[in-house]
Amino acid sequence: MKKKNGILSTVYAGLIFLFLYLPIAVIVVFSFNSGRTTSNFESFSFYWYMRLFTTNFEAQAALRNTLILALSTAVITVLLGTLAAVGIDRLRRKFTERIALGANNIPLMSPEIVMGISMMMLFIFGGALFNQQFVLGFSTVLLAHITMCLPYVILSVLPKLRQTDPHLAEAAQDLGCSQVMAFFRVTLPSISTGIASAFLITFTLSLDNFVISRFTAGPFTTLPLHIFGQIRMLVRPDMYALTTLIFVMMFLLLLGSNLLQARAAKRQNKQT
């Protein structure tokens, strides 16, 4: 068994979580403000939530756009990234592997603002090559988000692949599995935790991205872009209400998936 945490370290962890959650508490409280500001609490009210669900069409559309984008990004990036990780894992020459990993690191090392601008240039340039005007929109912001998230997927899947015993897949092939079948039956299950966390991190990064979207999304308004437009005049509690709702939704979602995970873990424990 592992050692237990002492009181001191528990207090320390508590303080860090207080730091992380203090602004969230502020946001939740002010989302119920009846006034128009986020610094002067007048009285408790659901007014901004009502506005959000009735006449705030822009916020609704932005929320919808963001969820669609984050979901598409997560699915495509995880597929592409897993494939890439498997490919990199099979590279036998140190030199080619280094190049592949180096290339993978470029987006991690690029400031977001540089990535956003350079991708905008690329899309417009590429559009001109194919005689296409006005290319910016859902597809370009999707491509940009996939590019931004790809390294994270590879970095979470590749270590899991490295831990996997290659002989297992070979054994499966010896027993008559095709190469593809061996991958799905043997390799995939052993890297699935890496894939799951890659999915989550990709979804998170895309959901919250502002800088890259700003340059590549064109008329496709995501939630962070909408929020940026809104706060030019004054941050109103409706943006806080929206943030609170996202928290609640994601919290429930994660809690659900966690319960499932816990149950699966228990079952596994019983089996062994």
Partner 1 sequence: MNKRKLPFGTALLNAPFTLWTVIFILAPLVLVAYFAFTGNDGRFSLQWFEYIFDPARRETYLRMFGDSLLYGALATGISLLLAFPLAHFMAQSKQSVQRVLMLLIMVPMWMNFLIATNAWRYILEHNGLINNLLAGIGLPRLGMINTPGAAILGMVYNFVPFMILPIYTVMARLNVQLVEAAQDLGASRWEVLRRVIVPLSMPGVMSGVIMVFVPSVSVFFINDRLGGVRLIGDVINDRVLNETNLGAAFSLILMLIILVCMLVLNRMGDREKGAFVN
Partner 2 sequence: MKKRILALVLGVVMLASVAVVFTGCGATANDGGLSLIQDQLLGEYTRDLAGTTLNVVNWGEFIATGPELHIVRAFETLTGINVNYSTFNTNDELHTRLTAGGESFDLAFPSDYMIQRLINEGNLNRINFDNIPNLQFIQREVHGLDMLDLWFDPGGLYSVPYVWGMTGLIYNYNLVQEPPTSWTALWEERYAGQILMFESSRDAFAVAKFILGLDVNSEDEADWHAAAALLRDQAPLVRQYVGDEIYDIMIGGNAALGPYYVGCFLLMRTLTDEDLRFVFPEEGVNFFVDSMIIPATSQNQLGAEMFINFLLEPAVARQNAEAVFYAFPHTEVVDYENFSRRGDPVLFPTNLPPYQRFVDQSREFISLRYSLWDEIRNIR
Binding partner selected for residue 112 from partner 2, partner 1, none, CB under the kind-specific 5 to 8 Å limit:
partner 1
Size of residue set near partner 2 by CB under 8 A: 62
114, two tokens? 């540089």
Site string for partner 2, 174-213 (x = CB under 8 A): --------------xx--xx-xx--xx--x----------
- Give the residue with the Cβ less far from partner 2, 60 or 101: 60
Q: Residue 164 is which amino acid?
A: T
Bridge partners (DSSP) of residue 44 are 33
* Contact residues for 115 (Cβ-Cβ < 8 A; gap 6+): 107, 144, 147, 148, 211, 212
Measured between alpha carbons, how far is 234 from 195 in angstroms, rounded to an integer? 40
Span near partner 2 by CB under 8 A; candidates 5-13, 16-24, 36-44, 88-96: 36-44
Q: Which residues contact 221 (CB under 8 A, 6 or more apart)?
A: 58, 61, 62, 65, 229
Q: Where are the beta strands (DSSP E) in the chain?
A: none
Contact 118, 43 (CB under 8 A): no
Toward partner 1, which CB reaches closer, 46 or 251? 251
221 in contact with partner 2 (CB under 8 A):
yes
Interface with partner 1 (CB under 8 A), residue from 90, 98, 162, 263: 90
CB of 140 to partner 1, least distance (A): 11
Q: Which of 142, 144, 225, 241 lies at the binding interface for partner 2 (CB under 8 A)?
A: 225
Q: Is 91 helix (H, G, I), strand (E, B) or coil?
A: coil
Least separation in angstroms between residue 50's CB and partner 1 is 20
User: Using the rule CB under 8 A, is 67 a contact of partner 2?
Assistant: yes
Q: Which two tokens stand for residue 162?
A: 């490295």
Find the binder of partner 2 among 123, 151, 212, 237 (CB under 8 A). 123
Output the CA torsion sign for 129, 107, 97, 84: negative
Stretch near partner 1 under the rule CB under 8 A, chosen from 50-58, 131-139, 184-192, 226-234: 226-234
Instruction: Please count the residues of this chain forming the interface with partner 1, following the rule CB under 8 A.
Output: 85
Query: Number of helices and strands (H, E) in the chain?
Result: 12, 0
Residues 6 or more apart whose CB falls under 8 angstroms from that of 182 comprise 169, 170, 172, 173
Residue 242 tokens, joined? 């929206």
Query: Could you list the residues that contact partner 2 (CB under 8 A)?
Result: 35-40, 51, 53-58, 60-61, 63-64, 67-68, 71, 74-75, 120, 123-124, 127-128, 133-137, 140, 188-189, 192-193, 195-196, 199-200, 203, 218-219, 221, 225-226, 228-235, 249, 253, 256-257, 260-261, 264
